[in-house]
Amino acid sequence: MSAGQLPRWVDLGLIPFLNLAAAFLVSGLVVVLIGENPLEAVKILVWGSLGYGEGIGFTLFYATNFIFTGLAVAVAFQAGLFNIGGEGQAYVGGLGVAFACLALDHYVPWYVTLPFAILGSALMGAAWAFIPAWLQATRGSHVVITTIMFNFIAASFMGYLLINVMKKPGSMQSETRTFEDGGRLPFLNDIFPSFGFGYAPVNLSFFVALAACVLVWLLIWRTKLGYEIRAFGQNATAAVYAGMPPVRIIVVTMLISGGLAGMMAINEIMGSQHRLLSDFVTGYGFVGIAVALMGRAHPVGIVFAAILFGMLYQGGAELSFEMPSITRDMIIVIQALVILFAGALEHMFRPTIVRLFTPSRALETKEA
Amino acid sequence: MNRFSKIVFSAVFATVLAAPAVMADPAIVYSVGGKFDGSFNESAYSGVKRFEEATDKTVREFTLERDAQSLQALRNFASRGNTPVVAIGFNQANALGQAAPEFPETDFAIIDMVVDKPNVRSYVFKEQEGAYIAGLLAAMASKSGTIGFVGGMDIPIIQRFLCGYKLGALSVNPDIEILSNMTGDTPAAFADPVRGGEIATSQIKRGADVIIQAAGGTGLGVLQAAADAGILGIGTDSNQNGLHPGKVLTSIRKRVDNAVYDSFQSAQNGSFEPGIQVLGLADGGMDWVLDANNKMLVTEDMKTAADAAVSRISDGTIKVHDVITEGACPV
């Protein structure tokens, strides 16, 4: 029952659509249970996320975060590694962005700062993934365990730095000083006023994220390293037998993965918050896992999945605003159902679909 | 988005948008901790309830899921004509600083932070003063000469509380030993009663016989562990004396409810004024609770000493160190 049995549009279009529809159907039942009109709820959710410029802006802003963390998980996934440390890698990546911005913002415009911020965030994120990668490659310590433990270490490490070293004096919040203009990416609303993104924090890093998608695609499907990563992910033993060095593949893949997760901080820190503050990641690293699963670890799929989750984040906020009885916890339930149906139960509809499509395909083959 | 689909969308959703017809209701935006966090936000919520009961008005509420939503929520309320719009928690200060100038006709208020704008009323509390009283009472109640402190997340506001607690304890017993632990480095540290209980137990084993919690939901576990071990706990933010009668020495209240109620009420009367409200012991913004549940624990001496300290802090004879404006704690 492999994917090859189905036409591409069914595999990549119809099945995800059915999974989503099922998720929304069950969510609708939950909405009915708490006594609200589910159609109204869907309307608000869609309108809130796509119905007006500012809503779209917020959706894209959240999507930018998810693209980075989704790509991070996807790259590791291609090598058969499950990097669930995106949360910590993104958090430490913020440090790289903050170093660049705090050092340069007084002296140069943002477009000079940006390359350093990208480099800094990727380096810090990669550094945070290095030890788990090394342990996995040489000692067999499973990355699932080590990366999640590194999330906690990241929280403690960053908390220490923000409270004791980098904190702006006199502030109640653990945060650095606010960056000057040289440390702020322009908002898309200022670049394209006609779109009417309003006050949405979507910024130039959206394009950095799209560029990262292209680069990841090139890396995975068009380079020797990418071939090694995929070969290692499909069958590690065969890859080693073919002469590919496992230690190098694991470490390099995890460094790329960590670097991508770290780059999420560009959007949050340099693009929106304009200061390094504690807990700015708030779960984007974990949702990246769902995004990567739903996007089939392919950059195109990840962009769509990231926008879908961006819609859920933005539309969900709008929904709990318009319908006070739908609390933020309800929104999390709806998001969880989408993850459940799209990720965990991905194969639920597949057998039926395959049965539906097999006769006609068999016929085609005969005629041919 | 082109013009046509814009029209379609607005037609379809006109009904949705037209729904909030009642204007000029007050609104409140709770912080990420959530409305029922058993301490800070819940105290704000009790101010909301009190106002709703007193006036028959409905207060529109929103709970943030992440800080990035704050600006959106404040603008949404303001653009629908809600006033005043009250932001709970210092994390919303940046957002309010942006939202307030966009809606000069709307009154805003913020708790725990100063936002210097002509239509914002800022309420800040001198937690260190309340903590001083707690430390003083703890040191006097302790027989072992060791007292404990369990904080939530390691953030400046909790360190300020810790510093006040230490100063208060040392003021009555210069030899007292003060054990202090923070629960963690993430906001989850404010919602982990099991870990709170474990930390309290370890402090009890090291000799502490009075332990204060400054840890939100985690603190419930601290008070439980103290009560189970037969020693005394001290509550914070709201009155927690009744949780374990006879086992909670006192509660240091931070009257967020009064601040919220005051902002709603003054807007209602048309007497809303911008500016900074610094609430401490002197004006009842912080207080310590003596009720039927703890009166057998607080001796006459302790009450006299606490009251004396309250009046000396109020008139400025004692100035309690504030780690946020004055730098690291001297002790």
Complex-level ipTM: 0.70
Q: Are strands B120-125 and B275-279 parallel, antiparallel or unpaired?
A: parallel
Q: Is the pLDDT of residue B17 over 50?
A: no
In this predicted structure, what is the pLDDT of residue A279? Answer: 85
Answer whether A321 sits within 8 Å of B113, measured CB to CB. no
Q: What CATH class is the domain A52-324?
A: mainly alpha
Q: Which stretches of chain A drop beneath a pLDDT of 70?
A: 1-5, 172, 359-368
The gap between the terminal CA atoms of chain B, to the nearest Å, is 61
Q: Is the pLDDT of residue B2 over 80?
A: no
Answer whether A279 sits within 8 Å of B62, measured CB to CB. no
Q: Is the pLDDT of residue B190 over 80?
A: yes
In this predicted structure, what is the pLDDT of residue A359? Answer: 64
The pLDDT tens digits of the residues spanning B211-244 come to 999 998 899 999 999 999 999 999 998 889 999 9
In this predicted structure, what is the pLDDT of residue B20? Answer: 40
A168 to chain B: nearest residue by CA? B324
Q: Nearest CA to A60 among A245, A211, A187?
A: A187
Tell me the pLDDT band of B91, cut-offs 50, 70 and 90: confident
Answer whether B75 sits within 8 Å of A324, measured CB to CB. no
Single-letter residue type at B290: L
In this predicted structure, what is the pLDDT of residue A116? Answer: 97
A320 to chain B: nearest residue by CA? B62
In this predicted structure, what is the pLDDT of residue A363? Answer: 55
Residues of chain A with CATH 1.10.3470: 52-324
Given 3-state DSSP classes, what are the helix, strand and coil percentages for chain A, each rounded to the nearest 5?
Answer: 75, 0, 20
Looking at every residue in chain B, the average pLDDT score rounds to 89
Q: Is the pLDDT of residue B63 over 60?
A: yes
- Judging contacts by C-beta atoms under 8 Å, the chain B residues touching residue A317 are 65, 69, 72-73
B153 to chain A: nearest residue by CA? A159
- Judging contacts by C-beta atoms under 8 Å, the chain B residues touching residue A327 are 63
Order of all β-strands in the sheet with B85-88: B60-63, B27-30, B85-88, B108-111, B120-125, B275-279
- Mean pLDDT throughout B302-331? 92
SS (H, E, C) B127-183: HHHHHHHHHHHHHHHCCCCEEEEEEEECCHHHHHHHHHHHHHHHHHCCCCEEEEEEE
Q: What DSSP letter does each residue of A300-336 carry, written as one string? A: HHHHHHHHHHHHHHHHHHHHHHH-TTS-HHHHHHHHH
Answer whether B324 sits within 8 Å of A170, measured CB to CB. yes
* Interface mutation target, options A279, A286, A318, chain B, most CBs of B under 10 Å: A279
> Residue B12 carries which DSSP code?
H
The pLDDT tens digits of the residues spanning A99-142 come to 999 999 999 999 999 999 999 999 999 999 999 999 999 999 99
- Judging contacts by C-beta atoms under 8 Å, the chain B residues touching residue A40 are 16
CA–CA distances in Å: residue A7 to residues A13, A349, B78, B178: 10, 15, 51, 70
Among B35-44, B254-263, B270-279, name the one with the lowest average pLDDT: B35-44
- Domains of chain B, CATH where assigned: 3-126+257-279 (3.40.50.2300), 128-253+287-326 (3.40.50.2300)
Please provide residue B162's backbone torsions phi and psi, each rounded to the nearest 5 degrees: -60, -45
CA dihedral of B285, B225, B216, B137, whole degrees rounded to 10: 20
Q: Nearest CA to A333 among A16, A15, A33?
A: A33
In this predicted structure, what is the pLDDT of residue A366? Answer: 54
* Interface mutation target, options B69, B82, B102, B278, chain A, most CBs of A under 10 Å: B69
The pLDDT tens digits of the residues spanning B117-174 come to 999 999 999 999 999 999 999 999 999 999 999 999 888 889 999 999 999 999 999 9
Answer whether B324 sits within 8 Å of A58, measured CB to CB. no
β-strand partners of B233:
B211, B248
The pLDDT tens digits of the residues spanning B149-165 come to 999 988 888 999 999 99
Please provide residue B233's backbone torsions phi and psi, each rounded to the nearest 5 degrees: -110, 165
